[in-house]
Structure 1
């Protein structure tokens, strides 16, 4: 399948040293500089996603610790396991929550628009 036609560009100035570092990272990933930069930019989560992800991981960890509290002190490997499990899914869980919230917001706007005779909020 042919990739989509790319007609827009994003540019920034970098120093010689920064450019060399970017080229090395791209090369070590087996990509051209353009491919690597595009992948990095598109894969980088937004700040809100990162904050929500951390809050969800903390929530999961706290709930697991609370649930486990009556069984005595945690062993280090048990705690590490709980942390790793919370970290492994935090970003995707944050994205799911944000998608759900965005969908609910869109539904609410549609309902308000319908109540106002299709005129929007």
Structure 2
């Protein structure tokens, strides 16, 4: 596996590896293996969307002069919590549909050797 980086990027990567007392290869391997599967993104986005729903509805009620009762607040929280996972999945699925899939084929020697053309 290989990648191209600028000299500045290479130096920054080496510095991160040194900070963890690893070689660059060891550090890159560890980072790749620790890459998340997106579950944390879904949870975080779900919480943000739930907070957004609560805040918008609360501000709308207050701006309209409606009193916000404890019962209304509990209902609003329950509704926001009930929708958050579904809404987060919908948003992440839509986002992923717009991002092109990376190439999964490994490079062959002929593709990486400029002398063989």
* TM-score after normalising by structure 2: 0.50
Question: Shift of residue 66 of structure 1?
Answer: 1.2
Q: After TM superposition, which residue ranges in structure 1, 4 or more long, deviate above 3 angstroms? A: none
Instruction: Using CA pairs under 8 Å that are at least 6 residues apart, name the structure with larger relative contact order, 1 or 2.
Output: 2
Question: Could you say what the CA RMSD is over the residues aligned between the two structures, in angstroms?
Answer: 2.0
- Structure with the bigger percentage of helix: 1
Aligned residues between the structures = 64
Q: Deviations over 1:73-104 (max 9, x none)?
A: 31100000000000001011001000000001
Aligned to 1:97: 91
Q: Of 16, 29, 45, which aligns to 1:52?
A: 45
Unaligned runs of 5+ in 1: 1-44, 110-121
Larger Rg: 2
C-alpha distance in 2 between matches for 1:87 and 1:80: 10
C-alpha distance in 1 between matches for 2:61 and 2:99: 36
Unaligned runs of 5+ in 2: 1-37, 103-117
C-alpha distance in 1 between matches for 2:65 and 2:77: 18
C-alpha distance in 2 between matches for 1:60 and 1:106: 30
